[in-house]
Amino acid sequence: MSTSVPQDLQTALRERRSVKQYDPGYQMSKEELKELLELTGRAPSSWNLQHWKFLVVHSDEQKQKLLPIAYGQQQIVQSSAVIAVLGDLEANLNAEPIYSEGVKAGALPQEVKDALIGQINAAYQSPQVARDEAIRNASLASMQLMLAAKTMGLDTCPMGGFDQKKFVEAFEVPERYIPVMLISVGKAAKPGRPSGRFPVEEIVVWDRFE
């Protein structure tokens, strides 16, 4: 058995399923959600800019508002919460406070900080770069959220099927952020359906394509 990944995480990786039916009687507290999102926020990100924001839909009233926007998917109202993962189109603005902490702690020379911020701001002159980075890095956080939830004994389901324009309008999402996905979280009432997976021989190419 490999010892490079803790066993509880190995189990989470193998047993995670997209759960569509939740126990509506199970309710996560804000403290539990904060714990989950603290773990989520440790996901890797380009330049450590942490290109994400999480909108937690927790109350019954807000879930009902979200339900038609998500095309009536019942996990919206059955789960303990739905977490909207948003990508940050202006994550370059995060560089100054993040890198200033490194300089203050003596872990990052001032000249390196200045060079990095210049590099980042130059890259963010391109709207396409900003959008690609927002989606790419928010997706890393999304997977981290689902695995963290599984190690906490919780179940999740990622959802791309929702009206993004209506979501932005209904929840007054600032222009800085774009919706990447919705993730329901709670306790399964029915296990997620097992899904077929390609064997490793079919998904790996060694060194180069022939």
Indicate if the pLDDT at residue 70 is higher than 60: yes
Whether the model clears a pTM of 0.95, i.e. scores above it, the answer is: no
Query: Which CATH number does the domain housing residue 43 bear?
Result: 3.40.109.10
How far apart are alpha carbons 198 and 160 in whole angstroms?
Answer: 23
How far apart are alpha carbons 133 and 111 in whole angstroms?
Answer: 25
10 within domain boundaries? no
210 within domain boundaries? no
User: How many distinct helices (H) and strands (E) make up the chain?
Assistant: 9, 4
67 within domain boundaries? yes
* More reliable by pLDDT, 196 or 154: 154
Average pLDDT over residues 112-137: 98
Sign of the torsion angle spanned by Cα atoms 149, 151, 152, 157 = positive
How far apart are alpha carbons 158 and 142 in whole angstroms?
Answer: 8
5 within domain boundaries? no
Indicate if the pLDDT at residue 195 is higher than 90: no
Torsion of CA 98, 104, 109, 115, to 10 degrees: 30
pLDDT at 193: 82
171 within domain boundaries? yes
* More reliable by pLDDT, 186 or 11: 186
- At 5, is the pLDDT very low, low, confident or very high (cuts 50, 70, 90)? low
- Of the candidates 73, 60, 50, 79, the one whose C-alpha atom is nearest the C-alpha of residue 141 is 50
The total of structural domains in the chain comes to 1
1 within domain boundaries? no
Indicate if the pLDDT at residue 189 is higher than 70: yes
Q: What is the pLDDT of residues 26-65, one digit of tens each?
A: 999 999 999 999 999 999 999 999 999 999 999 999 999 9
Tell me the residue range of the domain where 101 lies. Answer: 21-203
- Give the mean pLDDT of the chain: 94
39 within domain boundaries? yes
